[in-house]
Structure 1
Amino acid sequence: MGKVVTVGEPMALFVANEEGPLDSVKTFTKYIAGAEINVSVGVNRLEHEIEYVTQLGKDPFGKYIARFLEEEGIGTTYSRFYEGAPTGFQLKGKDTENDPEVFYFRKNSAASMIPYDLSEEINLDDVDVLHVSGVFLAVNDETYRFAQNLVKRAKAKGITIVFDPNLRPVLWGSTEKMVKGINEMAFQADYVLPGIGEGEILTGSREPDAIADFYLAQGVKGIIIKDGPKGCYAYSSEQGSTQKTTAAGFKLEQLVDTVGAGDGFAVGVVTGLIEGLSLERILERANAIGAIQVSHISDNEGLPTRQELADFIANY
C-alpha cells in the first residue's frame, strides 16, 4: 500500500446537541476536528499508511488527540507536544439544512508555533503523496512557510502533491491575502481540489471550464472541482489539449452535517491516485466518501473502511 504525509492543526471539537445559535446551546458532545486529521483518518481506514505532522499542547485536549491518533493507527513520528501554548478547540452548531455555525479558539495555539526546522526533518524518501490543506496555510505566516518548504522538498523528489484550498476567510485577515496565498500554493501542486464556490473566489469565475483553465495554464497537472451532491468535474492537460471528465454525486435522503465532506472527497482522490485507479473510479470513490461523511454528525467518525465503501457504492 502507499504512504501519505500531511501536516495540520487538530482541535478538540464540541458539537451542539440541539439546534440554535451557539450562545444559546446548553450541551455539547466532544469529538476531534481538523481538515488534515480527517484526511488522515480516511486514508488509514482505506489501509494506506499516513504520517500526520502536528504540534499539540501538553494539556487535556492535546492528550485526547494524541490518544485518538494512536487508537486510529495514524503515524505520529513527527508530531510532538509543546508546553508553551494550548491545543486549539472549536464549537460547532447543529443545523440539518445549512452549513453549521462554527467558532474557533485557536489563536496562538501549539500547532501555530510549529518550528520551521521540522519541515526539513521529515523523511520523504518512501512517500507517494503529500496532502496539503489551505487551512494550515491560513493559521499564520510561519505555518505557511512550513507547508511551502515541505511542498518544495516533495516536488524535488517527484512526490505527487494534492492540494485542497479549504478556504477559511476568517483566518486570513483579507480576501486578497487569501486568494494570493492559496493560488501561489495551488500552482505548485499536481492536483487541486476546489469547491465550485471556492473556485469563484480564487479565479473570478463560477464556470468549471474557466476555473480549470486558470490552474492548468499555471502548470497544474489536474484539477477536480467539487459541486456538492451534483458531483464533480475533473480536468487534465495532455499534449496541449484539455481532457474533461464529469461524475454524478450520490444523492442522500437525509443530510446530517456538511462539515468534512470535502476532506472525505480528498481521501478518495489521494487513495485512488496511490492505487492507480482510473479517473472515473477515483471520482466515484471521492463522491461516495463525501456522501458517507455528510451522513454523520462528527467531522470524521463516518469515514469508511474498504468494505463499508464497497458496500455503499454497490447498494446505492
Structure 2
Amino acid sequence: MKNLISVGEAMVEMSPQSLPGHFHMGFAGDTLNTAWYAIRLSPNWNVSFMTAIGRDKTSDQLVSFLADAGIDTTHVQRHDDRTIGLYMIALEKGERHFSYWRGQSAARQLAADRARLDEAFAQADLIYFSGITLAVQEGDGRENLLAAIAAARSAGCQIVFDTNLRPALWDDNEQMCDWVSKAAEVSDMILPSHDDEAVHFGDADPEATRDRYVAAGATTVVVKNGPRTIHYQHEGRQGVVQPAIVSDVVDTTAAGDSFNAGLLAAYVEGAAIPEAIRAASNVARRVIKGRGALVPIK
C-alpha cells in the first residue's frame, strides 16, 4: 500500500441542524475532510493525518474519531498547553458562513520541528496540504513546512496543494499571495478555486489561474469553478470538464475538500484527469446535499 499524508488543522465543528438553535458537534478541517473522504474512496492507500492537538478530552475524542475512520494517527502531535480550534457554521440558502475560535490552536505548532516533518514525509508517497495549513503556522513553521515538502519532492514524493485562500488568516493580501506562490513552486498538482483566485490574484478567467500555476512549475492544475466549467492542464495537455448541475443544495461545506479527495482517489487508481474530475464532481455533488463537512457517501 502507498502512503498519503494529509497535513493541516483539525477543528471542532458545530453544524446547524433542522431545529433552530440546535447544533451537531463533530470534527472537521479542510485537509482532515479530504483525508476522511479519501480513505473511503481509496481503500488501497494508507491515509495518515498530520496535525497537532492537545491532551484534553476533546483532543482524545478526535484521535478516536480518526482511528475509527481508518485514518492513521501516527503523525498526530500532542501539546500540554493547547487544544483544538472550533468553528460554527451558519447557513443561508445552502451557502455557509463561518465563525472561528482558533487563536491558540495546537495546529499552529505542527511545523515547529523540521526534523519531525522530515521523518514523517520520508514515509510518504503523496503529501497533501493547503493554504490554510500554511496560513495558521507560527514562528518558523511556514519555512519549515515548505522546506520539508521540497525535500520530500526531491526524493520522489508527489506533492498536492489546494491553495484554499483565506485572507482573514493572513496579515494582508500580499503576504497571502506571496506564501501561496512559494507553496505552488514546490508542488506537482495544484487545486485552486477560480472565484478566490480572481479576487486575490486578479485572474481574469479560469485559464489565467491555470496558466499561472503551470508557470510556477506544476505538472497538473485543476481549477475548481463552482458549478461552472472546470479547466485543467495535465502533463502539457489542456481541457475542460462541465460538472453535473445540482439543484437541491443543502450545505456547501467541504465541497472543495471532497472534490479533492474524489480527484485524488480516481487519479491514483489510474484514471485519466478528465475522468478523475468527473468522479470528483460526483463526490462533491453528493456531499453538498447533506449537512456539515463530513457526509456519508457510500
Give your verdict on TM over 0.5. Answer: yes
CA distance, structure 2, for counterparts of residue 172 and residue 299 of structure 1: 23
Task: Summarize deviations over 1:70-108 as a string: whole Å, max 9, x none.
Answer: 11010111113211112111111122342x221111112
1:43-54 equivalence runs, <5 A: 43-46=38-41, 47=43, 48-54=45-51
CA drift at 1:231: 4.1
Q: Structure 1's 189 and 261: CA in aligned 2 closer, same or farther, altered over 3 A?
A: same
Moved over 6 A (4+): none
Instruction: Please tell me whether the aligned partners of residues 220 and 233 of structure 2 are also in contact (alpha carbons under 8 angstroms).
Output: yes
Give 1:80's aligned amino acid. Q
- Using the alignment, how far apart are the partners of 1:122 and 1:176 within structure 2? 31
CA apart distance, 1:265? 1.1
Q: Which moved more, 1:55-64 or 1:220-229?
A: 55-64
Distance 1:88 1:227, change over 3 A: same
Q: Deviations over 1:194-240 (max 9, x none)?
A: 111122135321312222221222221121111112241111353xx
- Corresponding residue for 2:101? 105
CA distance in 2, matches of 1:261, 1:152: 28
Find the aligned partners of 2:125 and 2:200 in 1 and give their Cα distance: 28
Residue among 246, 256, 260 paired with 1:262 = 256
Q: Which amino acid aligns with 1:244?
A: Q
Alignment of 1:131-280 (within 5 A): 131-141=128-138, 142-238=140-236, 243-280=237-274
Q: Map of 1:268-307 to 2, 5 A cutoff?
A: 268-302=262-296, 304=297
Alignment check: 8 A CA contact 1:3 1:128 kept: yes
**What displacement does 1:282 show?**
0.8
Contact 1:128 1:159 in 2 (8 A): yes
Separation of aligned partners in 2, 1:106 and 1:143: 17
Tell me how far 1:254 sits from its aligned partner. Answer: 0.7
* 1:138 and 1:172 in contact (8 A); partners too: yes
Q: Is residue 31–residue 130 contact of structure 2 (8 Å, CA) maintained in 1? A: yes
Does the Cα contact within 8 Å between 1:18 and 1:94 map onto a contact in 2? no
Partner of 1:68: helix, strand, or coil?
Answer: helix
The residue that corresponds to 1:40 in the other structure is: 35
Take 1:64 and 1:206, find their aligned partners in 2: how far apart are those partners? 44
Distance change (3 Å), C-alpha of 1:28 and 1:268? same
Q: TM-score normalised to the size of structure 2?
A: 0.92
What does 1:3-22 align with in structure 2 at a 5 Å threshold? Answer: 3-17=3-17
- The aligned counterpart of 2:113 is 116
Distance 2:250 2:144 in 1: 35
Contact 2:53 2:77 survives alignment (8 Å): yes
The answer on whether the counterparts of 2:146 and 2:186 sit within 8 Å (CA) in structure 1 is no
In 2, the alpha carbon distance for the partners of 1:76 and 1:146 equals: 21
CA distance in 2, matches of 1:91, 1:9: 15
Change over 3 Å in CA distance of 1:109–1:40 after alignment to 2: same
Taking the aligned partners of 1:263 and 1:147, their CA distance within structure 2 comes to 21
Q: Is the 8 A contact 1:161 1:191 kept in 2?
A: yes
Q: CA deviation at 1:18?
A: 5.8
Identify if the C-alpha distance between structure 1 residues 230 and 101 changes in structure 2 by more than 3 Å, giving closer, same or farther. same
Deviations 1:120-178 (A, max 9, x none): 221524x3211111111010344423421331122111211110011111111211111
Q: Give the number of equivalent residue pairs.
A: 293
Helix, strand or coil at the partner of 1:181: helix
Q: Secondary structure at the match of 1:173?
A: coil
Question: Percent of aligned pairs with the same residue?
Answer: 25
TM-score for both structures, normalised by structure 1: 0.87
Take 1:9 and 1:73, find their aligned partners in 2: how far apart are those partners? 18
Q: What SS does the corresponding residue of 2:122 show, helix, strand or coil? A: coil
Native 8 Å contact 2:121 2:152 kept in 1: no
Match of residue 84 from structure 1: 81
Indicate if the aligned counterparts of 1:17 and 1:94 stay in contact, CA closer than 8 A: no
